[in-house]
Structure formats: C-alpha cells, structure tokens
Amino acid sequence: MTFDFHAYLKSRKALVEEALDRLVPAADRLPARLNGAMRYSLLIGGKRLRPILALAACEAVGAPLERAMNFAAALECIHTYSLIHDDLPAMDDDDLRRGHPTCHKQYDEATAILAGDALLTLAFELAARPVEEVRAEQQLAIIEKLSAAAGVHGMVGGQMLDMEAEGQELDLPGLQNIHIHKTGALIYIACLGGALLGGGTPEQAQQLKRYGERIGLAFQITDDILDEVGDSLEMGKNVGADREHNKATYPKLMGLAQARQEAQRHIDEAIKCLHDLPGDAEPLRELARYIISRTH
C-alpha cells in the first residue's frame, strides 16, 4: 500500500493541535491577557514539524506515539516562544508571522515578552509530567538534553551567533555552526527525545539523532532559499529579511543552485540513518523529503 504522506501530516498535525489546545491554559483564565497571547501565538498555525518528528521517531522505534505527546507539545511551546522573541523590535522587528500579526503587534511588546517566557516555562512543566512506561531517571535525562538544545548550548546560543555574524563574511563551517545550534538543535532533540521516550536502544537513538542533525541543516538551507525566492503570502511572513539585515545565508555564500544541492545532500544522508529500525520509518523518510520540497 502506498504511504499517503499528506494524510499522515494532516492527522499528526491535528493530534498535536488537539494536545496543545488541551494542555495550554484557556484564554479566559487569569491572567487572561497573558494566556490569550500565549494561545494566540501557539494556535494561529504552523507546520508543527518538531512535534511531528518526535511522534514519528517514537513510532519508528516501535512505541505508541502517546508516549511522546507531552514532549511534542513542549517542543512546540519552545519553538513558539523563540518565534515571539525573534519577532520583537529588538531582534528581527517583524510584523507578520504565520499570516497573522506578530504577538507584539497583536498585543504589545511587554505582553509578547511575557508570553514567550511563559511558553518556555510551560514547556518544561509539560516535559516533566510522568509518562507511563518511562522511568523517572530516563525522563530526567531527556529533559536535561532538551534544556541544552533550547539554551545557550543550542538554539539561544545559535541565535546569538547569528546576530554577531550580521555583516560578516563566513565560510561554510562557520555558517553551519550557527545553524547546527540555532535551528538544528531543536530538530535533532525532537528526534532523539522521541526515540528515547519510545524505548529505543542507544544505537537507535543515535541513528535518529544523526537523522535530526542532517534534516536540521537541510531545513535551514531551505529557509534561507525561501527568504530569497519565496512568496510572502504563501509563507505568511515577509521575505527578504535576511538580505535586509545582511545576514550570512547559504544562497549568499554559495549561490541558489549549490545551496539546493547542499540541502539535498543532507537529506540523502538523513535517510541513510533510518535503516533497521523496529517500527515504521517511512513517515521520517517522507518528512525529510518534505523539508526541502516545501514552499513555506
């Protein structure tokens, strides 16, 4: 039977959004403005790639996806907090996100900062909730890895490196170092965490971590390409921001054609990591291909 990737993506996205709606405080709970801002940014759309990767990795090692659901929701909370803060005037100063006004435009800067802070904190509350069939010490180790991937040794540190590189001429290793941290860390921890929560062996967990690292780089290269050639309406945000901020990007460094080749190389390497897994790895193969074929 042919694997229907679009049906898979739709069903998994619906599961993630149902979990987010259930796990995030209702907008009418006090403080209502803060909860409203959190839910606004979290639920106005998005690909839900990171949580879907966590669920797919859990299933690829032969476990039910429910084991990774709280972790998946935590990932989306961290990702959304990072977008709220990235969009602030002190950072990228963006007005549009996912086709809607950014959080600080819809509310105000102070509320946006607090909404990001609250989502980050909520993420670790969700990740710490007990999971049936997962030992407490195992879950603690996963939370430690998630903290590293989200913080100064991962996404936040990568954002700082990216800001410092504005206007600088970088070589390929320097550019990759930024994006391994800024974008790749949260993607590989999605795959690694899903595998560990699913009871994968250390070897299987490392396979899926390597897969996540490769697709993380391919994801960022594709983002850089779309910022050059993408459509603002389809992407739901302004394009050309990288050039405006004089950021180091793959198209700037190597040209569009070679950047596309580099993204494909990482996807090919990622797919090679998916051999001999006990569960169904086809969703992960298709997710890898989707990453570089997407238009938003």
Domain residue ranges in the chain = 5-293
233 pLDDT tier (thresholds 50, 70, 90) = low
| Per-residue pLDDT, 34 | 97
pLDDT at 167 over 90: no
234 pLDDT tier (thresholds 50, 70, 90) = low
At 77-91, the pLDDT tens digits run 999 999 999 999 999
Three-state SS for the chain is CCCCHHHHHHHHHHHHHHHHHHHCCCCCCCCHHHHHHHHHHHHCCCCCHHHHHHHHHHHHCCCCHHHHHHHHHHHHHHHHHHHHHHCCCCCCCCCEECCEECHHHHCCHHHHHHHHHHHHHHHHHHHCCCCCCCCHHHHHHHHHHHHHHHCCCCHHHHHHHHHHCCCCCCCHHHHHHHHHHHHHHHHHHHHHHHHHHCCCCHHHHHHHHHHHHHHHHHHHHHHHHHHHHCCHHHHCCCCCHHHHCCCCCHHHHHCHHHHHHHHHHHHHHHHHCCCCCCCCCHHHHHHHHHHHHCCC
- The CATH architecture assigned to 5-293 reads Orthogonal Bundle (1.10)
pLDDT at 240 over 80: no
